[in-house]
Structure 1
């Protein structure tokens, strides 16, 4: 059994050691800390101070600033002084890439320094595959140590914390050459720095591993926790889905990734990265935390054998196909008392049937009433059951039926854990009946309910469970419910119903209007279902986070954009006003364009 969380059948916080960041205590039993990041030029004191105040006034408890060089690092002293003068004492964080000297300066002036193992010493990625011997690999680690130890000494003297922040998009060529673009490589990148800190007896550390792909982010953070536990380390975790995007999609993708880990009990601080003004990230983060906190003290869930559970890699739960549900089919979407051209089925509550796109009706039967129903007269039947009713007779029933789809429901306040236990129970008994995940929300369905549904259902699809999704709610706005289901499936990487946009929130390194540009790119490409398009502010994480993107739009200078096809640079330094047209032309050149219907 893996030990990445306390107990997968009972919600409980993973215990980490306490660290101090200014006046904020993080880890252990302290509340989860919410933070954000400025988008201003850190050399502009007044502008940066104003934005930090806006973030804090919105409820942010910690604020990070991009710190490209020594000039920005020195100006942190003035920013901090101005904030304190105005009564703002929340901790500040310097975001460092490529520049250890800037980190050394920043550590003198503010409470925390974020360094990226992928480029703290190694510089920008060249995507070169280098054949390292053990000796040459260790030589590079010695160079890391020489650069890192001076920073650790400064942090010790000034009581400054460090975040070791690994990004999927900026692994070093050393790590890439030995481990590839894998969760194991991301974890080792973090652990290399962590072991040096441990040797130097520096423990005021927070860790993060982020990716724009929520599934990779979840599996990698779980693996990091497991690896730390094996090496007797228990440092606090910072969670986030980087480059999550904007609007509904950005919020749902963040809730799926962050919510899955918080549901595991993992996470001591979070940031929701949206391509919007940073203060808009704070209420979303609080909604996620507040909802996850309601899971504490849930009803007991019967434990099952977890030998067949795969928390560190995606393995789809194997089922037989019944019509278009299960097997190798993408998960279906079931609406409620409403049918649109987008949903695959619609549940008609009054007559307890589910209607398919071709208008055929299929019965919905409660398992408790299954003895009274003749299943032989139907080519497809939905049987509604909760884990608590899955006794031996239920297992035998499902094994005997070849025209049944399970409608898996739950009344437990932690439906995620209970439904996961149900899937493991079915798997352990070799039941291959397709399963649609059902969740009822009684309240008004709104943006907050979208967050709740993402936290409840997203983790199951991240883990490979589920052949369909059915969110039941009586709201008149059924289109919002259906859009939410499709967005949860896309955020979980199991069904793509629209383009997949990877867009960063922007920072002081961004040299063009990122928010406006992202909106324009979406307007031009919104009909290109399944295409992956990245809109990135700069080259720090841009090329790497676009690893599985089809096309990339990346800032390369003031008002300049470089276009990528997959990982290859196609057009450099295009004027920003021409770049979207050039992006469309590039998509057409490669045969991926279709005209809007």
Structure 2
């Protein structure tokens, strides 16, 4: 199965147009930006005021939760309030659990979002074994509840989103397909087939999860199944429960950006635990990168390139474990962070980077330090001597040309190569081979037309790098690390994909180091570039280069690894973006819990406003904090509720007590440590 027409050049997935009010989604339309309001639905003035702020920020479609039929009827008043202020924007009703609310919403909304996991099923976390006949009877039961709603949407010209959430799959789907991307896809397809049987195609689909790897795999599988079935429904993209601040933006960019790079996605929502108007600039930044991209077809014939990935399952290529000082690279170990120091080698700068930085006590795993002449050689020896006095230190990688390698003792050697030039690597390769030291070969792309090159499936930078690696291997280097330095983000992603596929085909266990060059070190670009590759299992180490200070770039690299699931260096928070169902101030609560527990490396904590996705997403967390009523909180270990209806005032402290009881607590470092 193929999930996109070409993994090596941009082709937007073909979809038919679906109307949401006056806005077209899919087809030839631009990628749309949308969000969701947070006040109680029947607080009309608050809903109108927030919707106006969203529209002013550039939001094209606004979603509003409708837990009950009365809430659904409130959409009429919200629309009237907007029109009285001269604003017309499509309104979407968000429905969970209640077919009755969906029927009412279809009278007042431009689109209704339903969740196939709970439209006609109650989530009980029960195993429901069904024979094929019993399973079909269950589908007929669902159809009886679903058809009146579809018929009303047809009559009134209302569109629909069938929105699957990883956290709220039905027990029936979970039993048959598991808690998997396949289960997510089949959950939606059951409802899509019913719509098609009844002649209704005004449908948009989504596959949301808080884990970008799961979300990416589910959308890819859905795209492949659409192609197999001859379906062209547009896709709504989003990483749900992404959280707030930089972490939420990185996780969203990694998931959404990975799919947009492959031409998948017709509308996006960035889910942040912040006021929704702050989601819009992030979403616009994401879609802006693809607004001017056109299908990469120029009439010329292109060679067929191998793609050895399994795009529907996280399956990294086996790599050799390589020692870098006291650190281990590859071999299934968590990805490392390198920091590159350009310019003249300075002992002050090099040793400064060796100190732990910030509350998380982060330090780079490796420093790539230039040795350009005799002065640098002397400084190198002093840096190595001084760093050796420390109990833990980053690996020291000497960046050398072939003529300066002799006499340099390093944890690894880095050789910069320029595409199209003939470099002699014999001496440094021999030195690495004799000392059984890693050799990092980094090829700098020298193309001025990267997008056009990719369109023609022309990746000479990859072929040249592999040729140098083969030369080093012939000399006797066993520990090879390969890197590409490519300015254009899209060309960079595709070149690394091809490099990884060719190494997989050739059964090479060489490690790949992912480089974001200067100019690509902004949060969105770096998150797309590194996140898309890491979520495919590509990359044993990363570096973000640029003009921003080294600690800022290092922290960005660590945060991208965390968001991509490649390495956990702090607490992982799963926090929903809030809506009218939320039973407490989610923003302040999330921030409060982060301040109290953010130092717990590797611990996953879910902060959920209500039970819609809460119970399901809690299954991926170690501990959970979920609203159970006005001012009341339930606490969870995994998906097991261990304390019910706690007053919000004491819930934070009870969460800490719970973490301590399960031996996952450590005291936070003192300020200045």
Bin of the TM-score, shorter chain as denominator length: over 0.9
d(CA) in 2 for partners of 1:3, 1:358: 41
Alignment of 1:252-291 (within 5 A): 252-291=250-289
Q: TM-score, normalised by structure 2?
A: 0.84
d(CA) in 1 for partners of 2:262, 2:230: 19
d(CA) in 1 for partners of 2:291, 2:366: 33
Which residue does the alignment assign to 2:331? 327
d(CA) in 1 for partners of 2:590, 2:626: 11
Range with bigger deviation, 266-275 or 136-145: 136-145
Tell me how far 1:474 sits from its aligned partner: 2.6
Which residue does the alignment assign to 1:190? 188
Which residue does the alignment assign to 1:541? 613
d(CA) in 1 for partners of 2:109, 2:539: 46
Are 2:568 and 1:496 equivalent residues in the alignment?
A: yes
Tell me how far 1:412 sits from its aligned partner: 4.2
- Which string of whole-angstrom CA distances, capped at 9 and with x for unpartnered residues, describes residues 334-385 of structure 1? 1132624321012234649998615564432134424353323232222112
Alignment of 1:209-288 (within 5 A): 209-288=207-286
Q: Secondary structure at the match of 1:569?
A: strand
- Which string of whole-angstrom CA distances, capped at 9 and with x for unpartnered residues, describes residues 6-41 of structure 1? 100111110111111111011012100100000011
Aligned match for 2:496, one of 419, 426, 434: 419
- Which string of whole-angstrom CA distances, capped at 9 and with x for unpartnered residues, describes residues 70-96 of structure 1? 110111111111112211111000000
- Which string of whole-angstrom CA distances, capped at 9 and with x for unpartnered residues, describes residues 166-225 of structure 1? 000111111111111111111100000000000001001100010000100000110011
Tell me how far 1:393 sits from its aligned partner: 3.3
d(CA) in 2 for partners of 1:373, 1:548: 50
Alignment of 1:507-518 (within 5 A): 507-518=579-590
8 Å CA contact retained: 1:299, 1:412? no
Q: Secondary structure at the match of 2:236?
A: strand
Which residue does the alignment assign to 2:365? 344
d(CA) in 1 for partners of 2:424, 2:18: 55
Tell me how far 1:302 sits from its aligned partner: 6.5
d(CA) in 1 for partners of 2:226, 2:114: 19
Alignment of 1:289-368 (within 5 A): 289-293=287-291, 303-306=304-307, 308-323=308-323, 324-337=328-341, 339-340=353-354, 341=356, 342-349=363-370, 351=372, 357=394, 359=396, 361=410, 362-367=412-417, 368=422
d(CA) in 2 for partners of 1:299, 1:113: 37
d(CA) in 2 for partners of 1:554, 1:398: 56
Which residue does the alignment assign to 1:591? 663
Tell me how far 1:441 sits from its aligned partner: 2.3
Which residue does the alignment assign to 1:50? 49
Tell me how far 1:126 sits from its aligned partner: 0.7
Which residue does the alignment assign to 1:506? 578
8 Å CA contact retained: 1:398, 1:431? no
Are 2:539 and 1:452 equivalent residues in the alignment?
A: no
Are 2:511 and 1:434 equivalent residues in the alignment?
A: yes
d(CA) in 1 for partners of 2:428, 2:264: 46
8 Å CA contact retained: 1:288, 1:455? no
d(CA) in 1 for partners of 2:70, 2:537: 48
d(CA) in 2 for partners of 1:297, 1:540: 39
Q: Secondary structure at the match of 1:108?
A: coil
Which residue does the alignment assign to 2:602? 530
d(CA) in 1 for partners of 2:78, 2:554: 46
Tell me how far 1:232 sits from its aligned partner: 1.0
Tell me how far 1:395 sits from its aligned partner: 5.3
Q: Secondary structure at the match of 2:315?
A: coil
Tell me how far 1:408 sits from its aligned partner: 2.6
Q: Secondary structure at the match of 1:174?
A: helix
Alignment of 1:146-161 (within 5 A): 146-161=144-159
- Which string of whole-angstrom CA distances, capped at 9 and with x for unpartnered residues, describes residues 198-257 of structure 1? 000100110001000010000011001111111111100000000000000000000000
1:302–1:427 Cα change, 3 Å: farther
Which residue does the alignment assign to 1:464? 537
Tell me how far 1:413 sits from its aligned partner: 4.8
Which residue does the alignment assign to 1:377? 431
Range with bigger deviation, 357-366 or 125-134: 357-366
d(CA) in 2 for partners of 1:398, 1:380: 11
Are 2:216 and 1:139 equivalent residues in the alignment?
A: no
8 Å CA contact retained: 1:336, 1:474? no
8 Å CA contact retained: 2:367, 2:395? no
d(CA) in 2 for partners of 1:284, 1:329: 32
Question: Gaps (5+ residues) in structure 2?
Answer: 342-348, 357-362, 385-392, 398-409, 446-458
8 Å CA contact retained: 2:129, 2:172? no
Tell me how far 1:488 sits from its aligned partner: 1.1
Range with bigger deviation, 583-592 or 137-146: 137-146
Range with bigger deviation, 274-283 or 426-435: 426-435
Which residue does the alignment assign to 2:179? 181
Which residue does the alignment assign to 1:485? 557
d(CA) in 2 for partners of 1:157, 1:240: 29
Q: Secondary structure at the match of 1:373?
A: helix
Question: Gaps (5+ residues) in structure 1?
Answer: none
d(CA) in 2 for partners of 1:581, 1:15: 51
Give the number of the structure whose alpha-carbon radius of gyration is greater.
Answer: 2
Tell me how far 1:404 sits from its aligned partner: 2.7
8 Å CA contact retained: 1:395, 1:429? no
Q: Secondary structure at the match of 2:116?
A: coil
d(CA) in 1 for partners of 2:159, 2:429: 63
Tell me how far 1:396 sits from its aligned partner: 2.5
d(CA) in 1 for partners of 2:543, 2:101: 51
Are 2:565 and 1:564 equivalent residues in the alignment?
A: no
Q: Secondary structure at the match of 1:541?
A: helix
Q: Secondary structure at the match of 1:577?
A: helix
Which residue does the alignment assign to 2:470? 396
Tell me how far 1:153 sits from its aligned partner: 1.1
Q: Secondary structure at the match of 2:558?
A: helix
Considering only aligned residues, what root-mean-square deviation do their CA atoms show, in Å?
Answer: 2.0
Q: Secondary structure at the match of 2:368?
A: strand
1:405–1:543 Cα change, 3 Å: same
Tell me how far 1:500 sits from its aligned partner: 0.6
d(CA) in 1 for partners of 2:281, 2:175: 40
